[in-house]
Chain A
Amino acid sequence: MTPFKQSLELGLIRCGTCGLAVSRASLRMDRRCPRCQSRIEHRTPLSTEMTLAWLIAGIVFYIPANLLPVMHTSGLLGEADSTILGGIFEFWRSGDWDIALLIFIASVAVPFTKFIAIGLLLFTVRKNSRWQQHQRTALYRIVEFIGYWSMLDVIVVALTSALMQFQVLGTAEPRPGIAFFCAVVVVTMLSALSFDPRLIWDRRA
């Protein structure tokens, strides 16, 4: 249907390291590049499986990241453990809707977008779907791009804990929730990295 041909259809595999086009038939059993001796793969091995594994890990980590407090503040006005969602509500109620929105985007919207996007990509690849291939590729790029921005929360807690050390007047300490949140970000980034976007365009018989 399309005028484009996959490299495999031409019987060629590109070495990922030195760019040598190798004919599939000429590959030895250990699949090493005849020129640079690096491992040569037609597609990232076990890409969907690893992506799925990282994604599940990310979703699992996301639960305690939201349930456990991320920061403990104590001061003259008492002490409090705050969770991410609790913090968002707090800011929203006190009128700082912009900060609330920022934290919401960074810590709720972005991870969820990532979960849904990666999940969608995995699902369509498994189905060997040819639906909206361009948009799905764009989606993958977006997921890769927004990955690091999820670290905003972690950076906020780290900065606050480091700066707010006024003993009696006020101190802030990180709580385990932020570690889980950090894990969510790392794991989802790994998930996105382990996804091979070429699979979107593959057509298997």
Chain B
Amino acid sequence: MSTTPTPPSEEELPTPAVQNRRWIPRLVWVVPIAAAVIGISLLIRNWENQGPQITISFLSGEGVQVGKTLVKYRDVTVGRVSAVVLSSDHQTVMVTADLSKDAASLLKADTQFWVVRPRIGVGSVSGLETLLSGVYIGMKTGAATLPERRFVGLENPPALSHGPRGRELQLHAARAGSLSIGAPVYFRQFQVGRVIDENLLPDGSTRVTVFVEAPYDGFVKPVTRFWNASGIDVRLGADGLNVQTESLAAVLAGGLAFDDGPIEALFVAGGVPGEFTLYKNETEAMAPPDGDPRYVRMRFAQSLRGLEVGAPVEFVGVNIGSVVAVDLGYEHQDKSFPVIVTAKVYPRRMGQAYEALAAQGKTETDETLAAFVGTLVKRGLRAQPRSGSLLTGKLYIALDFLPASPRAAFDASIRPLELPTVNGTFQELEANIGRLVKKVNDLPLEQITADLHTDLEDLHETLSELHTRVLPNAEDTLSALHRTLDSADRTLDGESPLQRGLTETLSETRSTLRSVRELADYVDRHPDALLRGRRPQKMPQRPAALSSDAQP
């Protein structure tokens, strides 16, 4: 063994063997390569998952926090707010949010965004969870095909955020009543949907959008009638008090109800239209279809206090329309102020009469209708204001046949049709009373009173004369009469001497007559006695008794 190093010999060592043993530690380079691969793959995945960035403008950024506020679709997080800035005109808040890649397909031109905050309403309480967790941005995808990256956020959440299956319907009404978004829609007291939108159309009418959930949307048919169910319907009818309401919530928050229309309308064919009329109440909704109204005008030469717009127009007691305007007119000829009443009438409400007309095709145009009305006027049809209620003094217009009324001219060419009128019954009564009062006024009451006065004075004189002269004489006469009667009374009294004498005389007379009868009897039995006189008594005792009797 040599102790001195020999560098040349070391140089001669076979190096390949050494290299062979040394490639294994170089495997350590796998680690940074693997790290790089993992890092790059993460980057690629992140880049691939990078969803679209959207901008939503809100009126207020209340509660929205950068990096914290989430965007949720069906309560699943699909994105996060990355920036909140004011718009250049400082009118809105532009919220920028990064969405995940799978949410890109949800971004349509009509996709809606809104900020979910706690809301407490009459009908519902929502968003309570955001009290603790902070607000989030709700999202509802739309049906449009065009994609969109810039949106205008809603200030109020849509009534239906999760797009359940069902049918959306438009209702048209003159006024929406007390409806609010989210108000319930009832079918036979069963909630089947809700109001999702209300709009005021440019013509001033209201369009209410309702959503009827599946499977109840099958109840909506072409004949379905919608009506406003808010409020309580109290009716006092022949069958007693009838209170009807859909639900307490509907009373408070408003609500709609619908049901099938009248039976004759059930045969309407065709699909369900997207638009319906919203009626004021169930009664109105369930009335048969009115068809188009016709307008008529009436001139009344009298005050129509108590006639209001909306007052009914009744044809032979059947409501066929209503008053739409009460105006004051002016007649140049006689400088009078007639009241011009315009009313709309629904010829269809005339029932069978209308059907008969329709069968002849007479109602379709104004001309044929005018001719028809002309014949009615000839038969005595007149418009007359009548008192609907003595309590309120409200008037209504009655179209009735009054054949006794004076003939009236009817011009069929005037539009709208002008109906001849007569004054109201109440007013006629007033006029009659007026005439009566006038007659009473015309009576010569003062003269009558004067005559009566002199007569009474004469009577007074006569009576005073009677009193001063006739009455004292009468008193004397009466006292004389009294004395006479007194003496007469005394004379006739049982104790008076006259009476007594008379009684005695009568007794005497009776004894005398008895004696005469006995004599006659004796003479009858003993006629000879007249000659021989009386014979001694040979008679039994009884005749003796008789004789003793005869002896006074």
Contact = CB atoms under 8 A, between A and B. Distances in A.
Given A46-B22, A46-B25, A29 B31 contact: no
B25 A45 contact: yes
A9 to B, nearest CB: 11
A109 B6 CA distance: 50
A205 B184 CA distance: 94
Give the one of B1, B22, B25, B34 with max A CB within 10 A.
Answer: B25
Q: How large is the interface on B (under 10, 10 to 19, 20 to 34, 35 or more residues)?
A: 20 to 34
Interface stretch (A56-64, A92-100, A129-137): A56-64
B135 to A, nearest CB: 11
B476 to A, nearest CB: 130
B4 interface: yes
A76 B68 CA distance: 15
Contacts of A61: 35, 38-39
Contacts, number: 68
A26 interface: yes
Contacts of B2: 25
Contact of B134 (A11, A49, A68, A78): A78
Interface string A18-56: 000001111001000000000000000110011001101
Interface string B1-17: 11111100110011001
Contacts of A23: 3, 5
Contacts of B318: none
B32 A25 contact: no
A58 to B, nearest CB: 8
A187 interface: yes
A49 B23 CA distance: 12
Nearest to A81: B80
Interface in A59-117: 60-61, 63-64, 67-68, 76-78, 80
Interface in B12-51: 13-14, 17, 22, 25-26, 28-29, 31-32, 34-36, 38-39, 42
Contact of A11 (B5, B22, B34, B133): B5
B10 A57 contact: no
Looking at chain B's contact residues, the main secondary structure is helix
Contacts of A80: 68
B132 interface: yes
Contact of B28 (A25, A50, A68, A183): A50
Contacts of B1: 26
Contact of B3 (A25, A60, A68, A187): A25
Given A60-B32, A61-B39, A25 B22 contact: no
Contacts of B36: 56, 60
B291 to A, nearest CB: 60
Give the one of B2, B9, B38 with max A CB within 10 A.
Answer: B38
A105 to B, nearest CB: 24
Contacts of A68: 42
Interface string B197-218: 0000000000000000000000
Given A49-B26, A56-B35, 13 more contacts: A11-B5, A25-B3, A25-B5, A26-B1, A46-B25, A46-B28, A49-B28, A54-B32, A57-B32, A60-B36, A63-B39, A78-B134, A80-B68
13 contacts: A24-B5, A25-B4, A25-B9, A25-B10, A53-B28, A54-B28, A57-B31, A57-B32, A57-B34, A57-B35, A60-B35, A76-B133, A78-B132
Interface of A: 11, 23-26, 29, 45-46, 49-50, 53-54, 56-57, 60-61, 63-64, 67-68, 76-78, 80, 183, 187, 194
- 7 closest Cβ pairs, A-B complex: A78-B133, A57-B32, A60-B35, A56-B32, A25-B5, A57-B31, A57-B35
